[in-house]
């Protein structure tokens, strides 16, 4: 996906990218679709603005109950590129305003930016639902499916004596 946007023109990218790199090191991501990329590149004021949405279908493993579930994530994407460093007011050409990426070639390879945006946008701790009850620490039952009947002793050791007091 290397494209050069001509001055004043708009280019659209509507593609499916199989960038498996974005999902590496995430064993809680059981499966994923290709990354659907819907981006528009626009040349304006010496820079190219690439903007749009990245969409991925995920199959995730809940971090509490380990059940697999499906989720579609939609990530807004916006990156700015320029070939010429814009001089900041203090004359330091290294300081580009607004996180503009400096590119030296005529074409911009957007793939590393797509990967970076997906890595940052993946759910950090996947949950099948916010209120997921997780697994019973005693028997491993999925507590979302019902109570397993285990009595979980969560007594403060300072109150243990008191518990004995109530035993008949
Ligand atoms: Zn869960
Ligand atoms: Zn249990």
> In angstroms, what is the span from residue 121 Cα to ligand 1's centroid?
20
**Residues 72 and 15 reside in one and the same domain:** yes
Token code pair at residue 37: 């990329």
**Residues 120 and 143 reside in one and the same domain:** no
**Residues 147 and 78 reside in one and the same domain:** no
Whether the full predicted model's pTM is greater than 0.85, yes or no, is no
Domain containing residue 148: 133-168
**Residues 9 and 89 reside in one and the same domain:** yes
> Cα separations (Å) of 66 from 23, 26, 74, 97?
18, 14, 23, 44
The ligand placed nearest to the CA atom of residue 143 is: 2
> In angstroms, what is the span from residue 67 Cα to ligand 1's centroid?
6
Per residue of the chain (168 residues), give pLDDT as tens. Answer: 455 555 567 889 999 999 999 999 999 999 999 999 999 998 877 788 999 999 999 999 999 999 999 999 999 999 999 887 655 555 555 555 667 888 877 778 899 999 999 999 999 999 999 999 999 999 999 999 999 989 766 656 666 666 566 555
Of 79, 80, 68, which is closest to residue 132 (Cα–Cα)? 68
Token code pair at residue 84: 């010429």
> In angstroms, what is the span from residue 59 Cα to ligand 2's centroid?
27
Q: Domain total for the chain?
A: 2
SS3 91: coil
Distance, in Å, from the CA atom of 28 to the CA atom of 60, rounded to the nearest integer, reads: 6
Lookup result for tokens 């491993």: 140
Lookup result for tokens 């990245």: 54
């Amino acid at each position: 996906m290397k494209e050069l946007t001509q001055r004043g023109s708009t280019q659209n990218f509507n593609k499916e990218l199989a960038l498996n790199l974005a999902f590496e090191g995430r064993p809680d991501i059981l499966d994923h679709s290709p990354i659907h990329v819907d981006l528009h590149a626009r040349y304006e004021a010496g820079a190219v603005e690439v903007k749009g949405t990245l969409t991925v279908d995920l199959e995730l493993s809940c971090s509490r109950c380990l059940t697999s579930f499906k989720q579609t994530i939609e990530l807004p994407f916006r990156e700015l590129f320029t070939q010429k460093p814009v001089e900041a007011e203090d004359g330091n050409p290294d300081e580009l305003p607004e996180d503009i990426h400096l590119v030296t070639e005529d074409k911009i390879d957007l793939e590393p930016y797509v990967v970076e945006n997906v890595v940052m946008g993946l759910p950090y701790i996947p949950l099948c639902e916010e209120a997921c009850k997780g697994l019973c620490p005693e028997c491993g039952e999925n507590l979302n499916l019902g109570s397993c009947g285990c009595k979980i002793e969560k007594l403060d050791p300072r109150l243990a004596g008191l518990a004995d007091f109530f035993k008949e």
